[in-house]
Amino acid sequence: MKRNTTYIHAGSHPDPSTGAIMTPIYQTSTYVQQAPGVNKGYEYARSQNPTRFALEEAFAKIENGNFGLAFSSGVAATDAVIKLLQPGDEVICGNDMYGGTYRLFTKVFERFGIVFHYVNQQEVENIRKVITDKTKLIWVETPTNPLMNIADIQAITTLAKEKKIITCVDNTFASPYLQNPLDLGADIVMHSATKYLGGHSDVIQGALMMKDQWLRDQLYFIQKSCGAVPGPQDCFLVLRGIKTLHVRMQRHCENGKAIAHFLRDHAKVGKVYWPGFEDHSGHAIAKKQMRDFGGMISFELKNNSVEAATKLLSSTKIFALAESLGGVESLINHPASMTHASIPREERIKNGLSDSLIRLSVGIEDVEDLIEDLRNAIG
Ligand SMILES: Cc1ncc(COP(=O)(O)O)c(C=O)c1O
């Protein structure tokens, strides 16, 4: 099957009892057994649910993996990956990533003795320098949220394999439509399925995909033991979302490109962060590992004051001021006070995330309306 066919058919099998073409929402907590231990393979819905299993099969296929696991949120999926580790183990991650991931690492897992090193992953040498014999995991987010920095997945996974270190790539910003980290040597792919996979801003969910059976078994054990599983209704919504991923992503990319260029040409706009620009520091690598450049864009105004940014953020009519991304509707966000507020200010500024940075999740509306909205708001 080619990719676009896969998005529509992955995990979907006509329901055995009725022939329903859409996977039913198995809203049940348990399953009746014929005798103790004699059952249809379903015992308790934290461990097994047919709607979730259909989605997990789809997760595996859309990332070219053998296995998929669904979680109650993106951070719950990240949490499961870190629970593969022991106290004293070390993780190397980026110094520019989603604020909630940073919060989970610094505020929760550091207390359990996991050691995190935050480096600029645009240079693989920065990773090599902090590897010790305790390094067990490299956590990569590319493109990064919100600065759109690019890490070379293949170069990192080659180094990781040499040192027998697991690599997990947060592929939320790209989506499987633009980038498939397992094909580039990653061991695990993580998604906030809340974003492009769901695609309609109506569900919170996380995903892990992998090729390796041992990793799958460990992560399945963590999934059922820790219990951060999504409900069947949410699984249904994400399964339905995936069916249109390719058509949505195509439009996100087209609109994203037009808006990135509009912003760059605007007299009042300063720096625009979008990996599709030829002079973006990660453009060559993005071109190598991504199929297009997506609809996520960050920018600063030339009047780089918090007041000017706040005025713009409060002035758009179509772009809604809200956290999150990847839905069909366009969103505008202020990372410093919203999605990345959990990162201490000095840390943020040091890594290039200014107080006045604005992030856009470009939706799939008519691009002329989106540009007009931004033009009016910028003034
Ligand atoms: C890149 C990235 N990773 C992970 C997450 C966490 O996902 P969730 O909000 O579904 O828990 C987010 C959420 O914004 C994100 O943007």
Per-residue pLDDT tens digits for 195-224: 999 999 999 999 999 999 999 999 999 999
C-alpha neighbours within 13 Å on the C-beta side of residue 201 = 13
- Is a pLDDT exceeding 90 seen at residue 180? yes
Of the chain, the percentage scoring pLDDT greater than 90 comes to 98
Relative to beta strand 296-301, strand 115-119 is unpaired
130 forms bridges with which residues in the sheet?
Answer: none
Counts of helices then strands in the chain (DSSP H, E): 13, 12
Distance 14 CA to ligand 1 centre (A): 32
For residue 79, the model assigns a pLDDT of 98
Known catalytic membership, residue 89: no
Pocket test for ligand 1, best of 71, 72, 73, 75 (most atoms within 8 A of CB): 75
**Position 371 pLDDT exceeds 90:** yes
Q: What is the mean pLDDT of the chain?
A: 97
The answer on pLDDT for 314 being more than 90 is: yes
Own/partner long-range contacts of 233-236 (Cβ < 8 Å, ≥24 apart) = 233/25, 233/27, 234/72, 234/203, 234/204, 234/205, 235/25, 235/49, 235/51, 235/52, 235/54, 235/55, 235/70, 235/205, 236/22, 236/23, 236/25, 236/51, 236/55
Burial of 270 (0-12, 13-18, 19+ CB in 10 A): middle
Distance from chain centroid for Cα 246: 16
Question: Which tokens is 218 given?
Answer: 């460990």
**How many angstroms separate the alpha carbon of residue 173 from the centre of ligand 1?**
9
- 98 given a catalytic annotation: yes
Question: Does ligand 1 have an atom closer than 6 angstroms to the CB of 175?
Answer: no
Rounded distance between C-alpha atoms, residue 219 and residue 213, angstroms: 10
Calculate how far, in angstroms, residue 77's C-alpha sits from the geometric centre of ligand 1. 10
Q: Which listed residue (15, 42, 46, 251) is catalytic?
A: 46
Burial per residue of 165-179, b for 16 or more beta-carbon CB atoms within 10 angstroms, e otherwise: bbbbbbbbbbbbbbb
Residue 204 Cβ inside 6 Å of ligand 1? The answer reads: yes
Q: Is the pLDDT of residue 240 over 90?
A: yes
Q: Is the CB of 100 under 6 A from ligand 1?
A: yes
Total residues belonging to the chain: 379
Per-residue pLDDT tens over the stretch 132-179? 999 999 999 999 999 999 999 999 999 999 999 999 999 999 999 999
64's tokens: 């070219």
Active-site entry in 79, 152, 170, 292: 170
Q: Best substitution site from 149, 194, 205, 331 to test ligand 1's pocket, by max atoms within 8 Å of Cβ?
A: 194
3-state secondary structure of 296: strand
Confidence class of residue 368 from pLDDT cuts 50, 70 and 90?
very high
**Helix or strand (DSSP H, E) at 301:** strand 296-301
Residue having the nearest C-alpha atom to atom 2 of ligand 1: 98
Give the model's pLDDT for residue 342: 87
pLDDT at residue 284 is higher than 90: yes
pLDDT at residue 339 is higher than 90: no
- CA dist., res. 311 & res. 31, Å (int): 55
Angle at 138 between CA 133 and CA 142, to 5 degrees: 160
pLDDT at 105 over 90: yes
User: Measured from the CB, is residue 145 less than 6 Å from ligand 1?
Assistant: yes
Q: What is the pLDDT of residue 54?
A: 98
195 labelled catalytic: yes
Question: Could you tell me if the CB of 141 is within 6 A of ligand 1?
Answer: yes
Cβ of 72 below 6 Å from ligand 1: no
| Cα 376 to Cα 315: distance, rounded to the nearest angstrom | 8
Mean pLDDT, rounded, for 262-284: 98
pLDDT in the model for residue 52: 98
Whole-number pLDDT of residue 147: 95
Say yes or no: CB of residue 74 within 6 Å of ligand 1.
yes
Q: How far apart are CA 253 and CA 148, in angstroms?
A: 14
